[in-house]
Amino acid sequence: MKNILIIGSTGQIGSELTMELRSRYTGNIVAGYIPSAKPQGRLLESGPSAVVDVTNAQQIAETVDKYNIDTIYNLAALLSAVAESKPQLAWTIGMGGLFNVLEVAREKKCAVFTPSSIGVFGNNSPKNKTPQDTIRQPRTMYGVTKVSGELLSDYYFIRFGVDTRSVRFPGLISNVTPPGGGTTDYAVDIYYSAIKTGKFECPLGADTYMDMMYMPDALNAAITLMEVDPARLVHRNSFNVTAMSFCPKIIYEAIKKRIPDFEITYIIDPLRQSIADSWPDSLDDSCARNEWGWNPYWDMEKMTDDMLTILGERHKKGLI
């Protein structure tokens, strides 16, 4: 049995991770949310939920006490592009929020998972097969909060023994809750556009490579890492993980094989393009593979079949 609090449970990762945790564990799997993003439907009905704003340490502590929480998944964050338009808020949520979570975890002896990102890397990092331990000098507020978050999480482990663990997620692709304000979002939007209109305006150049992952693998990564025997971990905050690397041209061609009339035009968004250009083309995730058995199931072809099938069915029913 486990008692888990998910902060940011209605977001892109949270909405699926909460359901996955509820399917795997008995105990209180509490969906933490802010009042403007209340859980709906199955997320609301299948387990307890509570207002938990990550910037409010008292709310976190009270919920941890009430449900006897042993593990916190801290998913609250602004994604990379939107963080550039609201850098102060990105810091308040990303770092202020993490500090609150770590302090509560220290006092109440919880384990903590906080997603990091390929955004920790920058123009000075090796571009291909970017290693686990290398230069992390991002020039975005998102990247600054993620690097600082990794350091702070390691500090809480070394100094206070808080069981902090994390992965550097690449772009996440899902057919459930859409992302908002990320640089990799095009790789989700392209599937919706293919199904809904047969046309896509791509905000990134055709040859812009980045790492990506299908959501079921991402959920598995987070849960597997939190389950593994800590004696196996050399690293903690944070592990490179990846499942595939592609550029807009390649994903367009994969969709066009299945929808021959699909069209793409490139209308570059300079902010997203400059962020994408500063991120790795591909990651080396061998430390995650060796230390806790990371091994993704979904590649681009399987994911494309699944995305188009699921979105196609939902479109026929008028749901998207």
Q: What does the binding site for ligand AKB look like in residue numbers (CB under 6 A)?
A: 79-80, 117-119, 142, 169-172, 182-184
Burial (CB < 10 A; 0-12, 13-18, 19+), residue 137, is: middle
Smallest gap from Cβ 116 to ligand AKB, in A, equals 8
Is the separation of the CB atoms in 255 and 304 below 8 Å?
yes
Smallest gap from Cβ 20 to ligand AKB, in A, equals 19
Residues with a known catalytic role: 142
Smallest gap from Cβ 244 to ligand AKB, in A, equals 13
Q: Closer to ligand AKB at the Cβ: 101 or 275?
A: 275
Tokens of 147: 């690097």
Q: Closer to ligand AKB at the Cβ: 63 or 282?
A: 282
Is the separation of the CB atoms in 8 and 54 below 8 Å?
yes
Smallest gap from Cβ 22 to ligand AKB, in A, equals 24
3-class DSSP assignment, residue 37 = helix
Smallest gap from Cβ 107 to ligand AKB, in A, equals 29
Tokens of 221: 């990564």
Start-to-end CA span in the chain (Å): 37
Nearest to 185 by CA among 282, 78, 34, 92: 78
Burial (CB < 10 A; 0-12, 13-18, 19+), residue 52, is: buried
Q: Closer to ligand AKB at the Cβ: 78 or 195?
A: 78
3-class DSSP assignment, residue 79 = coil
Which letter, b or e, does each residue of 69-79 get, where b requires 16 or more Cβ atoms within 10 Å of its Cβ?
bbbbbbbbbbb
Q: Closer to ligand AKB at the Cβ: 117 or 153?
A: 117
Residue whose CB is nearest to ligand AKB in the complex, by number: 182
E strand or H helix that includes residue 49: strand 49-51
Q: Closer to ligand AKB at the Cβ: 169 or 292?
A: 169
| φ/ψ (deg, to 5) at 308 | -70, -35
